[in-house]
Amino acid sequence: MNIIPYNDRIFISIKEKYDRFDKIQDLIETKKNFLINKKKKLRFILKQNKFLETVKDDYQKYYNYISQQKNDQIRALKLLDEYIKDLTISGKLTKHNIEDAKEEQSKILREVNLIKNELDSIVDDTKSLTNI
């Protein structure tokens, strides 16, 4: 068994404490850098989320506007259809005019169906986007 002189033991003990202290300092520095990087990433993600929220809000406004326009078109075409029905029923039209009116009614109904399909497509697209 080796006997270590007292002064050497103190030196070894102090050296061990400094080594531990250095390791702890390194760990603290590593954790600090980790937290700084995490904070930077979070800040970036927050900016991205704010941007995406703005895009979502803009899309919702656009969707509401388009939807309202399509519904207005449908209402206008239905009014025209009712007007043509009234004219044909009232008997104020000639046989030729009645045929023209019926053809216009068919066009109007096809247009209403097209607009309804477009509106349904917009609604479906919006639902699929919100489910992401």
pLDDT, tens digit (0-9, with 9 covering 90-100), for 31-76? 998 988 999 998 888 888 888 788 878 888 888 888 888 888 888 8
**101 within 8 A of 88, measured Cβ to Cβ:** yes
User: pTM (2 decimals)?
Assistant: 0.50
Instruction: Give the pLDDT score at 30.
Output: 92
Q: What is the average pLDDT across 115-130? A: 73
Highest mean pLDDT among 21-35, 79-93, 96-110, 114-128 belongs to 21-35
Amino acid at 7: N
3-class SS string, 76-119: HHHHHHHHHHHHHHHCCCCHHHHHHHHHHHHHHHHHHHHHHHHH
**74 within 8 A of 116, measured Cβ to Cβ:** yes
Instruction: Give the pLDDT score at 83.
Output: 81
